[in-house]
Chain A
Amino acid sequence: MKFKLTFWKTVFLVIMVAGLYSSYVRFFHGLGAATNMSDQFPWGFWIGFDCLCGVMLAAGGFCMVGAVYLFNVERLHPVVKPAVLTAFLGYLLFICGLLFDLGRPWFIWHQLIYRNVHSVMFEVGMCVMTYTTVLFFEFLPNVFERLNWKTPIKWIQAIYPVLIVAGILLSTLHQSSLGSLYLIMPSKLHPFWYTPALPFFFFASAVAVGLSMTIFESTQSAKAFGRQLELPVLVTLGGALLVALWVNLLLRVEDFYHRGLLREIFKPSYEAYFLWLELILTYGIPIAMLSFRKVRLSPKLLYFASVSTVLGFITNRLNIAVIGFETYVGHHFVPRWTEFSITLMMMAMGFFLFGLAVQYLPIFTAEEPHVVHEPSVIGVAPALSHAGD
């Protein structure tokens, strides 16, 4: 056990040191030195992964809040707090990531004063800003609980309906609008991924990923913090995931059919290989698995199905952000190591903060007494519990 902790600690340190060096390159030598972005590829890996995937991976927050507080699925109550925490950290890290990607990040606040209401980017920016605030308030009771402050908790409880409705409204808007960003590029984005239905796909995939991430996270947290897995929770999530995947798949097939691409997608081509990878990971594997009752009742297999789903939708968004532009541009985009390094640093920070929060705040519900960990655990073992935002 001790060796393992040291191992993860080392990994964490290496990632942080490399990340800090890359940050130095980014802010002292510019985007050109730190990334392989160019006039041909003005948006690279960071937009694809940190932004498009990051926001998607944090969708568990609004999915679980919606399920529990809007639709009263009481069974899922134990996962709301960790899901909200993941979402809150995810959005904070997304904003940090954006500061690396923006050329003039010190002017990010310009959105508030020079508003262009016709811009999808403006809408996404405002929604993300407001939603992060909402998540902050949804997360705050954990801190008050810990400090045993009763009155502020009551204040937040009083506005909880507003927070819930606003949170879901804002999520619907910006999760779908991330897809709308690409609507203006019909001549650049490959037809496999360019469709007027992009906003619908982005929202539908966010729900599927929200569910898979919650399964993933519950399983990992259980492992890392030695907690009991709540099987009814996982079974409910698994069932919902199967439905969400079918909805996604039907939308997708309908779109291919509608645009006359059903034949095209089976012809081997550079784009087709990436499309196949995406479709197998998002639909093939998880739908086949989840169709068996045995899988839906097995935490381990459910875990694999959800990992496959998450990887599939990550492939989907990277296809949209990077692969789908390569034919138009005429060459491949390969990120520089510093780009990966900064993204890894963000993820490591996510694990670290999640571990920290779980250790010091009553995230895993009050029903079981707070487990006290040895200090050495911080940020290292929990690293397993939280993936990629």
Chain B
Amino acid sequence: MSKALLYDATLCIGCKQCEGACAQQNNLPYDDTVAAEPVQSAHKYTVVLNKNDKYMRRLCMHCEEPACASVCPVGALHKTKAGPVVYDVWKCIGCRYCMVACPFSQPKYEWQSLNPRIRKCIMCPDRLAAGKQTACAEICPTGATKFGEREDLIGEAKQRIQQNPANYKPRIYGLNEVGGTSVLLIAGTDVEDFGYPASPKIGEKPMPEYTGRVMERIPDFVPLWTLVLGGVYWISHRRDEVAAAEAAEKNGGKQ
């Protein structure tokens, strides 16, 4: 069982307290200027978007099988058993493959820094370890962001949609997208309106499988191809040797 977050956009009042709590938890500056920034960045891991007075939160989705972790050459990102996808800065070489690979474009970068780090929501792993919920869920005054076991939250999301079908689009975003995520969204509007990639576009296949299909063939390919190349080398050089030996024999015969 792993922890997850359920964000219910119909309950959100756009107070942005989650943004502030997140900043505090991660020692990031937070003031009116930052609050007004409508995008995530290296100093803003989560953002509450407002479109025609409909709200939507954006944050790392904490995929069940994260693309970022699978592509990182040094394994600086990994999915913990508890749920969060965390980052070990001391391993990172700064290739930014995680940023390009993430279907939700969540990892952000400290572009101005001379020793830049990847920045993203890491789902408060220290708080989770201490048995607490995430900072954003704890502070949320309406319960729009709810922390819990993933299975339980899925059940609750389904129940809410069922009980109030007029208020919700009939889907849980993150249930099956890219193989499922630990952040689940339900809303009365399309999440795509707020920059989330459309479900058919990202599919239900876990992203690591796209490269895994090729990578898993390499252990077979290496010995096979070595054998082929070595074989070709041997044949073409054997031909030379035979030709040389025959020539020598001929010459020897003449003498």
Contact = CB atoms under 8 A, between A and B. Distances in A.
B233 A161 contact: yes
Contacts of B67: 184
Interface string A156-190: 00000100110011001100010011011111100
A339 interface: no
Given A118-B212, A187-B197, A71 B232 contact: yes
A43 B215 contact: no
A110 B91 contact: yes
B203 to A, nearest CB: 7
Give the dominant DSSP class at A's interface: helix
Interface in A100-123: 101-105, 107-108, 110-111, 114-123
A32 interface: yes
A31 to B, nearest CB: 6
A335 interface: no
A187 B202 contact: yes
A185 B111 contact: no
A37 interface: yes
A42 interface: yes
Contacts of B96: 42-43, 103
Interface size class of A (residues with CB under 8 A): 35 or more
A172 B161 CA distance: 52
Interface centre among A27, A32, A101, A120 (most CB of B within 10 A): A120
A214 B226 CA distance: 25
A272 interface: no
B75 interface: yes
Nearest to B75: A116
B93 A181 contact: no
A31 B109 CA distance: 10
B247 interface: no
A184 B101 contact: yes
A374 interface: no
A209 to B, nearest CB: 21
A259 to B, nearest CB: 15
Interface of B: 40-42, 67, 70-76, 91-97, 99-101, 103, 105, 108-109, 111-116, 197, 201-203, 207-208, 210-215, 218, 221-222, 225-226, 229-230, 232-233, 236-237, 239-240
A30 B94 CA distance: 12
Contacts of B197: 187
A184 B73 contact: no
A33 interface: yes
A185 B96 CA distance: 14
B150 to A, nearest CB: 23
A72 interface: yes
Contacts of A31: 109, 111, 116
Contacts of B109: 31, 39, 42, 103
Contact of B201 (A32, A71, A105, A187): A187
A30 B71 CA distance: 24
Interface pairs A-B: 4 shortest CB-CB: A103-B94, A32-B111, A42-B99, A122-B73
B103 A102 contact: no
B211 A180 contact: yes
A184 B208 CA distance: 7
A114 B103 CA distance: 24
A118 B215 contact: yes
A169 B226 contact: yes
A285 B114 CA distance: 45
Contacts of B74: 107, 110-111, 114-116, 122
B233 A121 contact: no
Interface in A48-102: 69-72, 101-102
A213 B80 CA distance: 47
Nearest to B237: A72
A286 interface: no
Contacts of B108: 39
Contact of A119 (B41, B73, B236): B73
A218 B194 CA distance: 55
A181 B97 contact: yes
B214 A120 contact: yes
Contacts of B76: 114
Nearest to B98: A42
Nearest to A160: B233
A116 to B, nearest CB: 4
Contacts of B103: 187-188
A125 interface: yes
Given A103-B93, A122-B73, A186-B203, A72 B210 contact: no
Interface string A272-313: 000000000000000000000000000000000000000000
A83 B221 CA distance: 26
Given A118-B215, A187-B197, 17 more contacts: A29-B114, A31-B109, A43-B96, A43-B100, A70-B236, A103-B96, A105-B94, A116-B72, A119-B70, A165-B229, A172-B225, A173-B221, A183-B213, A183-B214, A184-B210, A187-B103, A187-B203
25 contacts: A31-B111, A39-B111, A43-B99, A70-B229, A70-B233, A72-B237, A102-B93, A103-B94, A104-B93, A108-B93, A111-B74, A114-B76, A115-B75, A116-B75, A119-B70, A119-B72, A121-B71, A121-B97, A161-B233, A164-B229, A180-B215, A184-B211, A186-B203, A186-B210, A187-B201
A6 interface: no
Contacts of A105: 93-94
B113 A30 contact: yes
A3 interface: no
A155 interface: no
